[in-house]
Amino acid sequence: MATPSLAGLPRWVLVVALLGALLVVLPLAAMVSRVDWANFFSLVSSESSVAALLLSLRTSAVATVLCVLFGVPMALTLARAAFRGQKLLRSLVLLPLVLPPVVGGLALLYTFGRRGLLGGTLDLLGIEIAFSTTAVVLAQTFVAVPFLVLSLEGALRTVGTRYEAVAATLGARPTTVLRRVTLPLVLPSLVSGSILSFARALGEFGATLTFAGSLQGSTRTLPLEIYLQRETDPDAAVALSLVLVIVAVIVVGLAHRSGTAGERRSAEL
């Protein structure tokens, strides 16, 4: 593939872009430079670290599944249906993207907490959500679902409804069309959206702390562990941060790959 020339770009744009890139890369480099490599393995394999890492992976995985389960129908509704208040609904669904996570955590607490909106009902059923692993998953789902909805809705609009119309005239019922045409066509975006949701869930801190607290083994995820370790054992905090950075890099790489695969497919359409 030929590289486009930079001829049309003013030089100062490149300079500012470089400064911006430094702002992102330099802190990461600074952190890596502080890693105590000699003790790296023992630092990240302490009992509390491993517990936090496993809890993080487990809850993020469940949250991602919930994001797909709820996010796909939400994206389909926003992209394909037409109803009053659709714009408003879209803004509300995407609200967690711009909301401070602490505020999200408080909102969840006043919904599912013991004195929350649904607290009484849940109490009667013998279900307690706040400050449990379930709360961690709910908090992560709350902040991560907009990522999936946003990427999937865009893909659905790009693919358009022409294939769906053809499938319908071939005698396929709406559920068959969804299963055999619509979802396969937007699969790359579904995958990249899920990966982004997973990443967002993995990094979730504010809402988790507010809504789920920080109990080792049940609600203390890796970001909470890092924050806690920073006070007592900065070396462990740095080592665990590096683990998160590596996970994040892998996730971004995967999402990017499936994203470009999706673009290639839409270009072929």
Partner 1 sequence: MTLQLDATVPARGFGMSLTVETGETLAVLGPNGAGKSTLLAVIAGLLRPDSGKSTLDGEVLFEVAPRTRSTFIQPAARGVSLLAQDPLLFPHLSVLENVAFGPRSAGVRRAQARAHARRWLEEVEAPELAHRMPTELSGGQAQRVAVARALASNPSLLLLDEPMAALDVSVAPALRRMLRRVLRDQTVIIVTHDILDAFTLADRVVVLDAGSIVEQGPTHEVLERPRSRFTADLAGLNILSGVRTANGIRTFAGNEITRAAPGIALHTSIVAAVRPSAVRVSLAQPANFHVAALPGIILDVEPHGGLVRVRAEEFAADITPALAAELDLAPGNCVWFAFDATDVTVYPYQPSTIIERGRSAQAKRIP
Please identify, using beta-carbon distances, which residue of 89 and 168 lies nearer to partner 1: 168
How crowded is residue 240: how many other Cβ atoms within 10 Å of its Cβ? 24
Q: Name the token pair of 258.
A: 């499936």
Q: Name the token pair of 56.
A: 């993080």
Q: Is 268 in the site for partner 1 (CB under 8 A)?
A: yes
Q: Is 185 in the site for partner 1 (CB under 8 A)?
A: yes
Smallest separation (angstroms) from partner 1 to the CB of 172: 4
Contacts of 170 (CB under 8 A, 6+ apart): none
Smallest separation (angstroms) from partner 1 to the CB of 269: 6
Please identify, using beta-carbon distances, which residue of 34 and 264 lies nearer to partner 1: 264
Q: Which helix (H) or strand (E) holds 148?
A: helix 133-159
Q: Is 178 in the site for partner 1 (CB under 8 A)?
A: no
Fill in the per-residue mask, 135 to 174: x = in contact with partner 1 (CB under 8 A), - = not in contact.
Answer: ---------------------------xx-xxxxxxxxxx
Smallest separation (angstroms) from partner 1 to the CB of 159: 10
Q: Is 184 in the site for partner 1 (CB under 8 A)?
A: yes
Smallest separation (angstroms) from partner 1 to the CB of 33: 47
CA distance 211 to 129: 9
Q: Count residues near partner 1 (CB under 8 A).
A: 22
Please identify, using beta-carbon distances, which residue of 3 and 175 lies nearer to partner 1: 175
**Phi-psi bin for 215: left (phi > 0), alpha (psi -120 to 50), beta?**
beta
Please identify, using beta-carbon distances, which residue of 23 and 267 lies nearer to partner 1: 267
CA distance 216 to 120: 27
Q: Which residues bind partner 1 (CB under 8 A)?
A: 162-163, 165-174, 176-177, 180-181, 184-185, 187, 265, 268-269
